[in-house]
Amino acid sequence: MIIAKKKMTFERRVYQMAKKIPLGKVTTYGRIARLAGRPKAARVVGRLMKNNPYAPMVPCHRVVGWNGKLVGFSGGKGIKTKKKLLLQEGVIFKNKKVDLARSGWQLSL
């Protein structure tokens, strides 16, 4: 008997991709949305990160806005805590945004 694999949900794909982001690197909500098969769902990815039931195994603080801006973090003191965590991990900032050229990570499937 052949058992059919269940199709992975968008939510599960998002969390699996976010889990792969290494220490000292970040990626964007939009990049995760594209790789998870819904290129226009960056806001949905943001909502999933906000409600992340798998923290800290899924490091939602390593997901940032398209331009490196720190947005949406519900842990601790919000954005201040997100920035503190990223700085502790070695993420490089330029002005008030993550320097994506130096700390960005290109997720792949």
Is position 60 annotated as part of the catalytic site?
yes
Q: Which of 14, 45, 60, 98 is catalytic?
A: 60
Q: Where do runs of H (alpha helix) occur along the chain? A: 10-19, 29-35, 42-50, 79-88, 100-103
**CA distance readout (Å), 5 to 2, 8, 35, 58, 93:** 9, 9, 20, 24, 42
The 8-class DSSP code of residue 25 comes to: -
The 8-class DSSP code of residue 43 comes to: H
3-class secondary structure, 26:
strand
Would you name the residues annotated as active-site residues? 60
